[in-house]
Amino acid sequence: MPGSPTRWDSPQPIRYPDPDVVVLDERFRPMVLGNAAIRRIATGFAFTEGPVWFGDGRFLLFSDIPNDRILRWDETTGGISVFREPSHYANGNTRDRQGRLLTCEHDTQRLTRTAYDGAVVTLAERFEGRKLTGPNDVVVKSDGTIWFSDNGAGTRGNYLGHAALQELPFRVYRLDPRSNSMTVAVGDMARPNGLCFSPDESRLYVVDTPYGQPRYTRVYDVVENGTRVVNGRTFFDGDGWADGIRCDTAGNVWCGFSGGEGQDGVAVFAPDGTLIGRILLPERCANVCFGGRKRNRLFMAASQSVYALYVEAQGAAGG
């Protein structure tokens, strides 16, 4: 009944196993802990995105895009504080292989790196002399190269950035910070969004979220010593759609997912593209990351809230 109390409004504990962690294929069952429940760890935001874990400090950073800030959740106290404000309407975040924060900024239409002393350095804002449309999500390979999607989400209106003319096609770029060279990695998608590598980096998964068209997830083979991708093909194409994605160490793909009641939350796919499990949330989920002391805690940035769940899986490096 609309307006009736839900588990998220109640102070009562959830009976184990959590009924909102749904096994659809037996391959998902070993990842589900029978004595761990989904927790809403923070709420009251406008639109959360870009969760990234800092194990050395035991905290999570995440973006609250319309409020133009990056927030910090402390694992030891559960407290929330402002990490950066203004954030230039930051969206996706990750860490490079040296532990520095990488951020996709909508309003400045650039990719930045935060140095150890807090100084912010611009890594990319133009390609072939033209302004990027607004970096969205970002991952890092073991060779130190940075791969990020540029899809105009922050420049189609003022809620997530500012209205601006599109100067470049929507693409995924590969940036080598050692040589400061940037190339087009994926140029055959309508509007690339979330992305991640398989644990062995032989595959690149990219979500396509075009406006007003069917949305699906593709997978590419990584070739030429990890510098190019080829053979793009459909990985998932069905009801609902993914946004931010991350791989675990076994190669399963964990997707922030939207699709309405019974689908909103996280969808988990096996390496062969089979949907094997769901983590149901009362809100659409934009992005995920693994964290915690053993990298076995899934953090979910979902619309107005952030959720967490311990699982028997560990996140792959680079996301």
Strands 287-291 and 80-84: unpaired
The rounded distance, in Å, linking the Cα atoms of 61 and 184 is 28
pLDDT, average across residues 308-317: 97
pLDDT at residue 212, as a whole number: 85
- Residue 3 pLDDT > 70: no
* Half-sphere CA count of 243, side-chain side, radius 13 A: 25
What tokens does 241 get? 């759609």
Residue 24 has pLDDT above 70, yes or no: yes
Is 128 known to sit in a ligand binding site? no
Q: Length of the chain, please? A: 319
DSSP string, 59-71: EEEEEEGGGTEEE
49 is in an annotated binding site: yes
* Active-site annotation, residues: 243
- The per-residue pLDDT for range 113-130, each reduced to its tens digit, is 999 999 999 999 999 999
136 marked as part of a ligand binding site: yes
Mean pLDDT of 62-90: 98
* pLDDT value for 4: 52
Please give the Cα distance from 289 to 47 (Å, whole number): 16
Q: Is 75 annotated as a binding residue?
A: no
* Cβ within 8 Å of residue 158, ≥6 positions away: none
Cα 91 from Cα 115, distance rounded (Å):
18
What structural domains and CATH numbers belong to the chain?
Answer: 21-310 (2.120.10.30)
Angle at 112 between CA 215 and CA 43, to 5 degrees: 60
Query: Residue 284 and residue 277: Cα distance in Å, rounded?
Result: 16
pLDDT band at residue 1, thresholds of 50, 70 and 90?
A: very low
pLDDT digits (tens, 9 = 90+) for 140-152: 999 999 999 999 9
Query: How confident is the model over 180-232, as pLDDT tens digits?
Result: 999 999 999 999 999 999 999 999 999 999 988 889 999 999 999 989 999 99
